[in-house]
Homo-oligomer: A and B are copies of this chain.
């Protein structure tokens, strides 16, 4: 998190220098000075341009050094080739926070990347914090402060935003419905979402945070910052550069390489971020969070102008995991009176049959009032018609909804209407900011589901940093890893797992047949035998793996046959004996492993093993450190977990053992950054045992 003083000077400076500001003004001039004055900024502004003179009545300084104070913030608004020179002026002047708007650095060519490095060095040497380059900078609507060179329309909304593109910044009025504070970090060479999000979360004026993310440098720090923020406020994230093609486009846009999207997705889930699938979802969720401060549960009441529309509202609720409320006796009695004998009175409530004799508006009011008083209903979706000519719309219930809903702020109400006048309805119904309009019931249901999720599954969940004591096996693990590079031998790999308490199938090494026979007797038949040799990489290909050996006679046969085949297929290979291992067949094959992600470091993977790993992609991911509770959730996300829980009458797997195994691996990874990849291939799990049969461990450079 940025120091408070830096954040304050960045977002509500008392003085700002616009360094290299254009002297042009008026339509299309792209003058940030003009925008700032128009916005009504009340701090001190220092335009700097070598030509001097005046712009819009403001004295222009020919050099930043001439400015009569050290401004809180400098915005360098010149094209890239002038930036280093101007940045040096900032350093000389003693400015500590600089925004660079120009494009063409990491997002440009070789020269741009070179200049970027130069800037970073200058910044470090002079202790300057940088926002950008390739950014429009800051909007603080509470302070009439804005560093954009475009004079755009942006209504005040209690939303804090960080983004990596000007489109998001300028389009916030549409994408996000408006904004309170926006920080565009552009290429994000220094100040990033991670530095800012905690401040947005602590700003009492803001109700929700939006993140537009294209790339991320330090995933682990981001996770910490996000975990901290979601306890205070709902955080919606829109991650772009998701597809391989999009990721490529992103890398040429902000000059950074995006990691795998599914790792980002896992990390977002882990910290309780609400991920928006597209730009419309951001706006939809903002509306619901800005309007309602909570929701008591997920039981939805539906009031509809027709039976058909009630049906599709039920579908929408079910699609997003909401429940259809059961009406109380009192609601049924009150409303039942209004209906003709033949009609159903239930939830969803199609009020049309009642309206034919009682009038639509009267019935709507009665239904909404009954629903608001019904303790079994947590929120209401209204479906009405906006298909009549506006001047004779005797079905208009927007005022009724505003009136009734306004009296029950703890019970969210959304409205969807059908017919040409829907935009007018939207405006009317949202007038008092007590009700939210959605153009479809699916979007209403999605937003209410997010509201429920945040207040009941995210906000209250303990997400503090997971701090685990050092594992007692670490010195043993360190010993095994010492001096090693590349692939570990299988014996080392298995020992490494055991050092962190990860069970393996019983095994041992034998130098010759006699030792192997004795070892097999100790381990107990059936056993598996594998050749030990640094020269042989693919053991199976040369006959170096023999499964299901049932007795000493078979062991001898297998030992001889194995050595004969190897002698033929890879003559001259140095042989160091064999591994004898308990031959396990019981149990469910699982995939457990880890790979280093460029953004998040080691990422733990769990899922279905064997042939189904690749085909089904039934894998869940997490970024360590992990609590046991989080590991349990991770397991439960997979489809294979249903089998582990004992589907189809088979005994359930011992979940404690499995969780311990993943917890051990997670600690092993964190304590030993040399491990770049690890695979337990497979891990067998059954009712009373979890055991790794094989392990592949690859070490990278420390």
**A residues touching B (Cβ–Cβ < 8 Å)?**
27-28, 79-80, 103-104, 107-109, 111-112, 150-155, 163-168, 170-171, 173-175, 212, 214, 238, 240-246, 249-250, 252-254, 277-280, 304-312, 314-319, 324, 340-344, 346, 348, 350, 352-353, 356, 383, 385-389, 392, 394, 418-423, 439-443, 611-612, 614-616, 618, 639-640, 642-643, 647-648
Contact = CB atoms under 8 A, between A and B. Distances in A.
B171 A249 contact: no
A390 to B, nearest CB: 9
B252 A346 contact: yes
Contacts of A346: 252
Contact of A243 (B163, B309, B314): B314
Nearest to A103: B353
Which 4 A/B pairs are nearest by Cβ-Cβ distance?
Answer: A165-B308, A171-B418, A243-B318, A253-B307
Given A166-B306, A318-B245, A240 B312 contact: yes
A473 to B, nearest CB: 34
B243 A171 contact: no
A260 to B, nearest CB: 14
| Among A253, A324, A614, A640, residue most surrounded by chain B Cβ atoms (within 10 Å) | A253
Nearest to A353: B103
B353 A246 contact: no
Nearest to A390: B153
| Among A163, A306, A318, A343, residue most surrounded by chain B Cβ atoms (within 10 Å) | A306
| Among A151, A311, A343, A439, residue most surrounded by chain B Cβ atoms (within 10 Å) | A311
9 contacts: A103-B352, A109-B341, A167-B309, A170-B418, A174-B418, A243-B317, A244-B318, A611-B647, A615-B643
Nearest to A610: B648
A259 to B, nearest CB: 15
B175 A418 contact: yes
Nearest to A248: B314
A308 B214 contact: yes
Given A167-B418, A440-B280, A241 B353 contact: no
A311 B249 contact: yes
Contacts of A304: 167
A315 B214 CA distance: 11
Given A350-B253, A440-B278, A342 B246 contact: no
B318 A419 contact: no
Contacts of A243: 314-315, 317-319
B108 A343 contact: yes
A642 B614 CA distance: 10
A308 B175 CA distance: 14
A389 B342 contact: no
A170 B420 CA distance: 9
A258 to B, nearest CB: 9
A383 B249 CA distance: 15
A695 B290 CA distance: 59
A343 B170 contact: no
A249 B318 CA distance: 12
Contacts of A279: 312, 440-442
A152 B387 contact: yes
A173 B307 contact: no
A643 B163 CA distance: 43
A244 B323 CA distance: 12
A443 to B, nearest CB: 8
A615 to B, nearest CB: 5
A19 to B, nearest CB: 18
A115 to B, nearest CB: 10
Contact of A305 (B28, B155, B167, B242): B167
Contacts of A163: 308
Nearest to A416: B279
A152 B388 contact: yes
Contacts of A640: 615
Nearest to A175: B418
A308 B418 contact: no
Nearest to A307: B253
